[in-house]
Every structure is written in structure tokens, then in C-alpha cells.
Structure 1
Amino acid sequence: MLNIDDIISDLTGSAEGITNALLKTKVLLFSLEAKDPVTWVNYELNGYPDTKFLPDYRILQARILINANNSIRSYKRLEVPLDHLEGEALKRAKQCRIDLSISQIEQLLKDAHAGDNSSFQQSIPIEYARYYARRVDESYEITRIYKDIAIHGLTSIVTQVRARLLDFLLELRSQTNNIQGDSMLEKAKMVDAAAIFSNAVFGHNTTINFGHNSTITVSNTIKTNDFNSLKENLQKNGVNDNDIDELHISILEDDRIATKSSNAYGPKVSSWYAKMIQKAANSTWDIGVSAATAVLTSALNQYFGISS
């Protein structure tokens, strides 16, 4: 099995881009039988087959520019006014949906930096020219129309993919470290990689459409530092009152630790978490290990306000 630390190293220390890290993550996810996240990885590697599947970070702001001329004047990169549009039509006109593979985006960035270009262009079919450039005088022939996107928008896509993938791998490593065992593969199979992935990559309160009737839904019902809402959530998921009381004590004891990290569980809560996973593995908690991991991770992260 691939070493999680190796992929993290690729994401944080490699100058070769993130395609290699995505490929390694795909192998890792298949090993963990986490099929839904593989779809996202494939989309980033190969490009998105339909813009309806695009995540928000791939929808960028754009301007519509034209090249136009008549017998007297010639214009290049002329921005057209869009005040004749409104609602969804105006919104679509000012957006550019980037469905390219991550390697294509990285190559565009390399080419742009080599040529000292500050923008990326997406052509619009010439037959739509007068629809957008309605206020351009009819005496002008429009020879080209396109959307102009600041190059830093493409950089932000690469950064978002890198950061979200890194969040997933760091959380996966953190959770496997809390589980007893010698084999990283066996420990990783005891957690719900798909749930960790959906929290890390897409966040709470999100429904992700992967196509082929496949979706992941992440819910958020627990208020930060509100133990009653945490208790209610755990009770609904079959955690008995004794274990919940033990968790409460663990939280109070960890609160006394002044140097406790704000983005991680304290030692007492970590120990409680590991014990609950072992109970699921030993069937003393009537829930599967994968489901237990998803329930506890989501609940505790929401309670502590830890961003996944």
C-alpha cells in the first residue's frame, strides 16, 4: 500500500504539480474500497465530463471581450457592456466554467508564466457575438469574441485541489494513528475514508453530485461547544449513556490543558475515540467500523469547530 506520508510529501514539497499525488491517492482509495471519492479524483485527472458536476472552485469570474473593425477603426480586447442582460443570463455571461484536467490547467499556467501573460481566454462561438455585443454598432464586423479570465483564477483551482486533498490525507493519517495495529492498510480500512474525504474536500452541509446516481451528503446538526447537541447526536447513533458521560469527562479534562491544539482532539478525547472504534470492531457497539468512524469524526469535529 502507498504510504500516506509519501503523498503528503508530494503535495507539500514537490515542484512537479499535483497530478502524481492525485494518481497515488486514486490507488490509495481503491485499496480502501472508497469508490465515490475516486470519481472526484478521476474528474480532476481527466477533466469534468459535464459542467453540472463542477465544484464551486472551478467557476471563475470573467469578462467578455471582442476584436472588431470597420473601414475606419479596429479594436482588440474591447470589453462589451452587458447591461441588456439580467438574472441568470447575466450571471452566466460573467462566469467561466473550467472543466479542463488539472494537468492541462498546470500547463496553461506554465505557458502563461513563460509568456508573461496575465489572462486565460475561452472562445465563444462567433454566432453568439451579436447576442452579447448588442450595443456595438452594426458597422463593425466582430471577428472574435471570448471570455477573458485572470490567470490567478487558474492558480486558485490548483491551490484548492492541493489544499483539499492535503486536508483529506492529514485527517486520514490522524485517525489511523488513533487505532491500534501494525499494518497501515488494516488500520485505514477501519475508518470511513469516504466520509473523511467528503468532510475534508467538500465540507459540511453539502450534497455532491458525482454522476451515475452517486451522491454524498454531509450533515451538520451539532453546535460548537454545545454538549447537549453532541449528546443527542450520539444517542441517535446508538452510543450508550455511559460512553457519552465518559466523553464529557474527557472533554472537561482536556479543557484544562492550556497548550491543547485548537485543530485536534485532546489526549483524553483521542483515547475515548480510539476506544469507541475498538468497540465497533469488537461488535460491542452495534455499528460497523466505517459507520462508527463517520459518526464520531463528524460529531466531534462539529462540536470542537474543527474544519475538515
Structure 2
Amino acid sequence: MQVIDEIIDLLSGNTPSVSEALYKSKVLAHRLGENELKAWVDAELQGYAGDADLPVYRRMPMAVFGQVTNGFQVHNGQRLPTRHLEQGMRDFLETSEVRDSIAVVEDYAHRDGELSLALKPEFYPALQRGLAGGFVVLRAWGKHGIGSYRQIIVEVRSRLLDLMLQLDDRLPDDVASSNIKQLSKQLGVAQMFKGAVFGDNININIGSGSQSQLANTVTKNDFSSLARVLKENGVDDDDIAELKGAVGQDGPVDSESQYGPKVRQWIGGMIAKAGSASWNIGMQAAGGVLASAISHYYGINN
């Protein structure tokens, strides 16, 4: 098919254009009737929603740094220890999930130096437990190398090219447009796509919208609506009761404020539980559920 040949040319040339190849792949996915392929292409072009699963190539290792003080000395850019953290929190802090569109990734890849990602204050108490000499964390951030962004582009290009080469071998040039969707199903294009892009036997949800729907069920300053949503997402009654106490201790916040210290501490503890027997939810999903629901309870960024 002509469109497949065009995509192969774009991906295999001396100056490959991944973005343009993705746009043509969107046209191809529509013609084939392959919704999962289209959803992946859309996610790469527009960015991955906060509640969507990420392909493994968009997860990058990250080192944690901070500004620390003991009241007499201040150290900037100090590498912060993480070995003392629970494994769930450690994995969360040492992994950067890149949800930006491929155009943004390409922009980052052409910048000089390293990029940093600010960490929320609720992680500070856990991080400073690894410090000696009475030091506390004033700020914290994660760093990963620019090469990681280049690797994302390489992975998208390579995986999409693998898929196009398989399609080029199996789809005849003269297939009628009226038969192409049926032929796509007969040839198992959906499985070809999953194998080439995500790996065999991997299921991934790159759809969007569940967190926004979740947040819309939380009413500002109505703790019962917040508790109901958290319970629906696997948070147990004891943890909800602890959050209610933390909210009461922190008192109200205005719409421009961040959560109070007790609520931040509670969120940090819950993220550490994610992926364990006590809360069977992924780290990224946990962070999204808590941030979305609690922010709507406080009326922050509504």
C-alpha cells in the first residue's frame, strides 16, 4: 500500500520524521479500522493522559537531588539517599514517566544539559529520614539525562517501523478499500501492532478520561463524596479515617494553596502503599487518583 511505503520512507531515511510518520499512521489506522493502533498514535501525537498506561520506553530512571539545611549550613544540589525508602515509594521517585507529546519530547531531546522535575513537598519527610546531622529537605527534584528523551524517539521510530515492515509483507498493494478492514482482521493486524509496539502478551490501556470522571464525583468541602471515591478505588476505611483526621488538623485551604502538612504526609504514605497487598493499585494510578480527588475536595485547580 502506498501509505505504508510512505511511512517506511519517512522512518528509514537519513533525516527521519517521526511526527509526520505518526500522522500518516493515523490515516492508515483509520483505513484498517484498528482502533488500538489509532489510540497509540493519538497518544504519541497529543501526549498520554494522566490515567493512561505508559509504554515501557516512556519510563526513565531518575536521580533525586535536593536543597538541605541543618539550620547552620545549606547545601544545594545534594544527592538524596533513597535506599531507606519503602520499595514502592523508591520506585516512584526514581522513575520519571514522560507523558508529553512526541513533538515536546523531540524539543527536549535537542536541548543541552539535564532537565529536572520538581517533587511535591509530601515526599520531603520521607526523604530527610535518610539524612544525618539534623538536616532537613527544603526542596527536592529529580534529574535524568537528555539522552533518555532521544531514546524515546528512537524507540517510537523503531517500533513503528517494525510494524510497517510487517504490514508491507502481508497487505497486498491492490487490496480494495472496501475489503481492507476485513483483511486487517483476518491477518491479525491488532496482534502485530501489540507485538511490535508493546511486546507480546502485554495488555496496555492508553485510553483517557477515567480520572476526570472520578474527580467530577467529588464535591468541594464534602468529605463524604471524597471518601466514597477513595473507597471505590480501593482505599480502606482506616486510611480514609486517617485522611479525615489530617484534613481536620490542617484546616481549610484557599483555592490557590497546596495541601496542608498532614494531608501531604498522608498522601506520601498512601503512595508508598501502592502496588502492595494493602492497596492493590499501580503507583502512577495511585498518584492520579489521590491528586485528582483531593484537589477537587479542596477546590484547587477546578
Residue matched to 1:194: 190
Paired AA for residue 199 in structure 1: G
Higher radius of gyration, 1 or 2: 1
**CA pair 86-125 structure 1, distance change in 2 beyond 3 A:** closer
1:132 aligns with 2:123: no
**CA pair 81-164 structure 1, distance change in 2 beyond 3 A:** same
Residue matched to 2:25: 25
**CA pair 71-88 structure 1, distance change in 2 beyond 3 A:** closer
Residue matched to 2:163: 168
Is this contact kept in 1: 2:32–2:184, CA < 8 A?
no
Q: How does 1:1-308 map to 2 (within 5 A)?
A: 3-13=3-13, 15=15, 17-50=17-50, 52-69=52-69, 72-112=72-112, 117=113, 119-136=114-131, 142-177=137-172, 182-183=174-175, 185=177, 188-189=180-181, 190-192=183-185, 193-211=189-207
In 2, the alpha carbon distance for the partners of 1:70 and 1:93 equals 23
**TM-aligned CA deviation for residue 202 of structure 1:** 2.0
Q: Per-residue CA shift, 1:96-130, capped at 9, x if unaligned?
A: 11111111111011123xxxx1x321111234323
Query: What secondary structure sits across from 2:150 in the alignment?
Result: helix
Query: 157-166 vs 87-96, which deviates more?
Result: 87-96
**TM-aligned CA deviation for residue 155 of structure 1:** 1.6
Paired AA for residue 174 in structure 2: D
Cα RMSD after superposing both structures: 2.7
What percent identity do the matched residue pairs reach?
28
**TM-aligned CA deviation for residue 72 of structure 1:** 4.7
Residue matched to 2:240: none
Q: Per-residue CA shift, 1:268-300, capped at 9, x if unaligned?
A: xxxxxxxxxxxxxxxxxxxxxxxxxxxxxxxxx
Q: Per-residue CA shift, 1:108-165, capped at 9, x if unaligned?
A: 11123xxxx1x32111123432322323368656443111112222222111111111
In 2, the alpha carbon distance for the partners of 1:147 and 1:75 equals 16
Is this contact kept in 2: 1:172–1:188, CA < 8 A?
no
**Higher RCO structure (Cα 8 Å, ≥6 apart):** 2
Is this contact kept in 1: 2:52–2:206, CA < 8 A?
no
Is this contact kept in 2: 1:11–1:166, CA < 8 A?
yes
Query: What secondary structure sits across from 1:148 in the alignment?
Result: strand
Query: 67-76 vs 165-174, which deviates more?
Result: 67-76
Gaps of 5+ in 1: 214-308
Query: What secondary structure sits across from 1:65 in the alignment?
Result: strand
Is this contact kept in 2: 1:17–1:106, CA < 8 A?
no
Gaps of 5+ in 2: 210-302
Is this contact kept in 1: 2:43–2:206, CA < 8 A?
no
Paired AA for residue 191 in structure 1: S
**CA pair 140-157 structure 1, distance change in 2 beyond 3 A:** same
In 1, the alpha carbon distance for the partners of 2:170 and 2:157 equals 20
In 1, the alpha carbon distance for the partners of 2:2 and 2:87 equals 48
In 2, the alpha carbon distance for the partners of 1:127 and 1:88 equals 15
In 2, the alpha carbon distance for the partners of 1:125 and 1:88 equals 16
Is this contact kept in 2: 1:51–1:97, CA < 8 A?
no
After TM superposition, the score normalised by the length of structure 1 is: 0.59
Query: What secondary structure sits across from 1:144 in the alignment?
Result: strand
**CA pair 110-17 structure 1, distance change in 2 beyond 3 A:** farther
Paired AA for residue 159 in structure 2: R
Paired AA for residue 168 in structure 1: L
